[in-house]
């Protein structure tokens, strides 16, 4: 690797509060110093005037479908989408075919992703085959490279099993990422329970399907201990429960996704199956609660829950189509447009939720700009207006309700370990 200087950008480090127009000097993949200076011969200069230089964004919740459903997404296409969206690292969920529940599968993901434009962080299943029965070998999987454990998409409904999971989490200091859903309440539902579901004649999913499971897990966490992170929070009641638990000192963290602070169930009328996700889009009250939870720190992380599906699958209709939307290439723009521009979050707060906090929760490198750190950086044009064009997505899939939306702010380049990976189009 050579020597690089990123010149003239606004450098913002959410870990320290550093915010200044200055140069970032990089050598052999590491940040060597911050500060102005003249570039010597042989130093590559990246001109960043008018751009923001941020820690590399980290998405701790994506689905890349490989192995098993490569027609939807592969590690290569998903990585390209991540880089295009400004991410330098992503954590991939284990619900592939076969499920990532063994050492060989974790190693396969790491080997397959080696040399790609972004770091791939494997998440292993909590139970074998995500069947909710036998626990995986957490210690061996973590040694192989798993950064967390989740049966995402499949809730751990058996309370006795969840007690064992949290006990293992406490003993091994392992992170558990929970998909909070009570199937007896959600079964057969495809969108939020409410007026839209009634008018469309489909079964709805009540917010209690999420919040009641969160209440159970928070009670168990308070009793047993461990490390619990709650995925894709969507409901007002859920935010209130987590806020109260944190106030009591319960060591829980959580995330939401951009669709939960930008859209309501009304989007289903326009976008149909491309606005169908699990948990579902909910009401204006829920959107307001998610925004409040982001602003007051109750919600730690913004993750995309990138869930690609083929067009023919989403064309099956609202009830038969699979849950999920793609999000890697729209997440940053939605955060800047919907949260930062209106002043709900500062730039530093938004970047913390998309870089520093995921790194801290997953306990991986990243989220900081300082001497000695790996040069994982995202260059952002914060004032550039652009239109979401699914025809230019790097992802293999196009299932999004944001097609045609005008957003302000986008990533124009990432550096992973000091190497340029993508430029803005």
Identify whether the C-beta of residue 109 lies closer than 8 Å to the C-beta of residue 100.
yes
Six-digit token string for 59: 């998405």
d(CA 283, CA 280): 10
Burial degree of 304 (CB within 10 A; 0-12, 13-18, 19+): buried
Identify whether the C-beta of residue 322 lies closer than 8 Å to the C-beta of residue 73.
no
What crossing angle do the helices spanning 208-224 and 236-247 adopt, rounded to 10°?
10
Sequence-ordered alpha helix ranges (H) in 347-409: 347-351, 357-362
The DSSP string of 121-168 is EEEE-SBGGG-SSSBP-HHHHHHHT--EEE-TTS----HHHHHHHHHH
- CA of 62: how far to CAs of 120, 248, 326, in Å? 10, 31, 9
Catalytic residue among 13, 69, 286, 305: 305
Would you call 19 a catalytic residue per the annotation?
A: no
CA-wise closest residue to 271 among 263, 279, 282, 261: 263
- For residue 18, cis peptide bond before it (omega within 30 degrees of 0): no
Identify whether the C-beta of residue 397 lies closer than 8 Å to the C-beta of residue 73.
yes
The DSSP string of 68-128 is T-TTT--HHHHHHHHHHHTEEEEEE-S-SSS-S-SHHHHHHHHHHHTTSSSEEEEEE-SBG
Q: Which residues are catalytic?
A: 305
């Amino acid at each position: 690797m050579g020597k690089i200087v990123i010149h003239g950008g606004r450098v913002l480090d959410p870990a320290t509060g550093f915010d200044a127009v200055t140069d970032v000097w990089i050598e052999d993949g590491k940040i060597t110093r911050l500060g102005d200076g003249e570039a010597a011969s042989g130093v590559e200069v990246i001109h960043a005037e008018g751009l923001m230089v941020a820690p590399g964004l980290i998405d701790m919740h994506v689905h890349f479908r490989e192995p098993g459903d490569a027609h939807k997404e592969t590690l290569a296409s998903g990585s390209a989408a991540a880089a295009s969206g400004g991410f330098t690292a992503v954590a991939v969920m284990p619900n592939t075919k076969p499920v990532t529940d063994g050492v060989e599968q974790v190693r396969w993901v790491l080997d397959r992703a080696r040399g790609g434009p972004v770091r791939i962080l494997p998440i292993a299943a909590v139970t074998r085959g995500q069947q909710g029965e036998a626990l995986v070998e957490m210690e061996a999987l973590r040694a192989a490279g798993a950064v967390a454990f989740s049966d995402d998409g499949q809730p751990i409904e058996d309370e006795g099993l969840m007690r064992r999971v949290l006990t293992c989490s406490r003993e091994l200091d392992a992170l558990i990422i929970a998909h909070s859903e009570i199937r007896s309440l959600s079964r057969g539902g495809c969108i939020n329970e409410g007026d839209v579901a009634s008018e469309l004649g489909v079964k709805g999913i009540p917010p209690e399907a999420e919040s009641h499971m969160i209440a159970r897990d928070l009670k168990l966490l308070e009793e047993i201990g461990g490390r619990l992170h709650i995925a894709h929070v969507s409901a007002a009641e859920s935010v209130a429960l987590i806020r109260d638990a944190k106030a009591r000192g319960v060591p829980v963290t959580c995330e939401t996704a951009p669709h939960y602070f930008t859209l309501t169930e009304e989007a289903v009328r326009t976008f149909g199956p491309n606005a169908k996700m699990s948990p579902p889009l909910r009401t204006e009250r829920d959107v307001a609660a998610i925004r409040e939870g982001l602003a007051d720190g109750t919600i730690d992380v913004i993750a995309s829950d990138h869930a690609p599906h083929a067009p023919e699958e989403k064309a099956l209709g609202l009830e038969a189509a699979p849950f999920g939307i793609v999000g890697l290439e729209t997440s940053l723009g939605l955060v800047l447009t919907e949260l930062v521009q209106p002043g709900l979050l500062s730039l530093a707060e938004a970047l913390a939720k998309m870089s520093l906090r995921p790194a801290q929760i997953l306990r991986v490198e990243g989220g900081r700009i300082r001497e000695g750190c790996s040069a994982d950086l995202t260059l952002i044009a914060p004032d550039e207006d652009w239109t979401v064009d699914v025809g230019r997505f790097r992802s293999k899939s196009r299932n999004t309700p944001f097609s045609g939306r005008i957003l302000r702010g986008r990533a124009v380049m990432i550096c992973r370990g000091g190497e340029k990976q993508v430029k803005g189009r």
